[in-house]
């Protein structure tokens, strides 16, 4: 009789093996348990919803980053692209006079265009992904400042609705995050594009020899990352009811951290939507818990950095011992 990944002994779930194969999930459970003891208000329904809302923007960015990292690349521009997409959408509404829904589309198209430019530089220009996306980080942030003239701009109702709540308890950002999570999982596991990402990340030369159009696939990867960055930017603008020129500064680092905490390999070929989702929750839970414990923002950065390093170290050791 064969044994599945998480079942053994007559079909009973093997929790130890599940946690062993999902180190980030085990870390999240330990973190939640510790914070529930140390911060009495942590496990309230309202606070848990707040954690989900706080995780949403970084999680959506991280899902797009997952495609890039799985394929063996890196995208440092997603934070700036998110800010540019939100600003273009707001500018299209306030300055160009476009309807709200069309302004939202303009924001998505902006993210797609930025992602495709990244893809062209990496796949056809043969620039290292680090350099190409670092350049886009600067260009997108600069364009955000140019478009906004350095001042925030209000968003239409169609975008503000993305930061609202359905009824009394169901935040829209949480729903969007879950939808993007599901879409990411489907793309990675059920589509040809997802299979090519793993193939290219594992060995680009072997993927090319097997008939995969590596250049076109790379273009698709960065295009998807750009669209997901745009969605994150629109979510952030919706939550704030305005698009700011300094929005999402440093978010690209949180997105990369979430992917890596989730078990992805920066060398490519390894990564899952579930791992990224858990990684984003780890960061959100940690920040929320530290706020409740009244830890200063300066020390929060130190703690988060240490947690990221330990998470990657433990995951590396776990993989070596398997």
- Closest Cα to residue 93, out of 85, 83, 101? 101
Distance CA 258, CA 291 (A): 19
pTM over 0.95: no
Helix (H, G, I), strand (E, B) or coil at 165: strand
Distance CA 279, CA 198 (A): 20
Contact, 81 vs 135, CB < 8 A? no
Per-residue pLDDT of the chain (322 residues; tens, 9 = 90+): 334 444 444 444 455 555 555 678 888 999 999 999 999 899 999 999 999 999 999 999 999 999 999 999 999 999 999 999 999 999 999 999 999 999 999 999 999 999 999 999 999 999 999 999 999 999 999 999 999 999 999 999 999 999 999 987 899 999 999 999 999 999 999 999 999 999 999 999 999 999 999 999 999 999 999 999 999 999 999 999 999 999 999 999 999 999 999 989 888 999 999 999 999 999 999 999 999 999 999 999 898 888 888 877 876 776 677 6
Interhelix angle 129-148/100-123, rounded to 10 degrees, is 150
Please provide residue 166's backbone torsions phi and psi, each rounded to the nearest 5 degrees. -85, 120
* Domains of the chain and any CATH numbers: 49-312 (1.10.3470)
Helix (H, G, I), strand (E, B) or coil at 99: coil
Tell me how far CA of residue 65 lies from CA of 58, 75, 121, 133, 159, in angstroms: 10, 7, 17, 12, 23
Instruction: Tell me the pairing of strands 12-13 and 170-171.
Output: unpaired
Distance CA 13, CA 5 (A): 9
For residue 261, how far is the Cα from the chain centroid? 12
Cα distance from N-terminal residue to C-terminal residue, the chain: 22
Contact, 249 vs 8, CB < 8 A? no
- Closest Cα to residue 228, out of 102, 121, 114? 114
């Amino acid at each position: 009789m064969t044994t599945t990944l998480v079942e053994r002994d007559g079909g009973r779930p093997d929790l130890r093996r599940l946690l062993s194969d999902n180190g980030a999930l085990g870390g999240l459970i330990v973190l939640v348990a510790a914070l529930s003891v140390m911060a009495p208000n942590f496990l309230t329904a309202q606070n848990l919803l707040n954690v989900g809302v706080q995780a949403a923007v970084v999680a959506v960015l991280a899902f797009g980053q997952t495609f890039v990292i799985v394929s063996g690349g890196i995208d440092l521009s997603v934070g700036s692209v998110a800010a540019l997409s939100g600003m273009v959408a707001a500018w299209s509404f306030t300055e160009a006079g476009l309807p709200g829904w069309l302004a939202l589309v303009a924001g998505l198209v902006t993210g797609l265009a930025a992602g495709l430019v990244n893809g062209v530089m990496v796949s056809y220009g043969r620039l290292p992904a680090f350099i190409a996306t670092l350049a886009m980080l600067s260009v997108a942030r600069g364009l955000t400042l140019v478009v906004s003239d350095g001042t925030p701009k209000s968003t239409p109702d169609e975008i503000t609705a993305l930061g609202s709540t359905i009824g009394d308890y169901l935040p829209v950002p949480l729903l969007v995050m879950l939808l993007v999570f599901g879409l990411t999982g489907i793309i990675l596991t059920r589509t040809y594009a997802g299979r090519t990402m793993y193939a290219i990340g594992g060995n680009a030369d072997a993927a090319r020899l097997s008939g995969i159009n590596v250049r076109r696939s790379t273009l698709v990867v960065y295009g998807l990352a750009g669209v997901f960055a745009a969605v994150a930017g629109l979510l952030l603008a919706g939550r704030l009811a305005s698009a700011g020129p300094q929005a999402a500064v440093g978010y690209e680092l949180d997105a990369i951290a979430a992917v890596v905490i989730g078990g992805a390999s920066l060398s490519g070929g390894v990564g899952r939507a579930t791992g990224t989702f858990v990684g984003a929750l780890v960061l959100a839970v940690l920040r929320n818990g530290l706020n409740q414990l009244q830890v200063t923002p300066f020390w929060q950065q130190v703690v988060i950095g240490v947690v990221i390093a330990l998470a990657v170290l433990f995951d590396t050791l776990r993989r070596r011992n398997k």
